Amino acid sequence: MNTSSNETSPHSGIIIGIISVVIIILLLASCSAFLKRQGDNWEEEESTKFNQQLQKNPADWSEEEKDRYNSFMKWENEQEKINKTKSNSQ
């Protein structure tokens, strides 16, 4: 029986494959968590900006603030239409 260090176990390929899959899954999970945190931070910043903007006189709003307000109103109207459609179909 030859037991040199160059021989590999017939199961070593399976073990390496399983370890590789686990590492890939962990990398994907950590990337997903990072992107979610970034999205949450962005959403919080935008919400703060919008709330501060609403405290100001609309005549003094910058173009960015006007665009932000118009985008929000458009989104809100779309949400109302979706909710009406859902409630009418029930």
- Break the chain into its structural domains and give their ranges: 62-90
Q: pTM for this one?
A: 0.48
Structure-block tokens of residue 2: 């030859």
Structure-block tokens of residue 36: 């979610």
Condensed to tens digits (0 to 9), the pLDDT of residues 37-57 reads 998 888 899 888 888 999 999
Question: Mean pLDDT, consecutive 10-residue segments, the chain of 90 residues?
Answer: 57 90 96 92 88 92 92 91 82
Contact 53, 68 (CB under 8 A): yes
The dihedral built from the CA positions of residue 67, 58, 44 and 87, taken in this order, carries a sign that is negative
CA dihedral 34, 40, 45, 47 (to 10 degrees): 170
Contact 59, 69 (CB under 8 A): no
